[in-house]
Amino acid sequence: MTDARRIALLAAVDRVLPGAAELGAATYIERALAGWHAGSLPAYERGLDALDAAALEAHGATFAAVAAAARDELLAASGLLELLRAHTIEGCFGDPRWGGNAAGGGWALLGWPAPREGWSEAEQELA
C-alpha cells in the first residue's frame, strides 16, 4: 500500500469507528489485504484513491486533511464504506494476533476480558 493510501486508510477507519486507528484496525486491514482478504485489494486501491481525489476536488486537500464532517460525507458517498466498515470492525474486535485490537483494547471497550489460553485442573473439576 502506498503512503498516500495508508494515510487515507488511517483517517477513514477513524471515521468509521473513532479510536480504530489506535486499536490497529488499519494494520489489520493491510495484513488482511496481503493475505486472506487479498481479493478486496483492488476495491481499496480504487476507493482510497477516489476519496483523496474527491476531497481534493471538493475541498482542495487530501481526504485525511479535511475536516471530520467532510470526511464523513465523502465516505458516505464512496463505494468503499460498507467493506471498510466490516474490515474495521474485524480489526478492532478480532484476535490481536491478526494485527488489530492492539493489546486487547477493543475487547476492553466491550468489557470482555479476552479468551483464556487454558483451564486449571481445579476449574475443570465437576461441582
How many structural domains does the chain have? 1
**Residues 3-21, buried b or exposed e (16+ Cβ, 10 A)?**
eebbbbbbbbbbbbbeebb
Question: Would you say residue 72 lies in a domain?
Answer: yes
- Give residue 78's domain range: 3-113
In a domain, 36, yes or no: yes
Q: What is the pLDDT of residues 80-114, one digit of tens each?
A: 999 999 999 999 999 988 989 888 989 888 888 77
Cell 465437576, residue located: 126
pLDDT tens digit string along 16-34?
A: 999 999 999 999 999 999 9
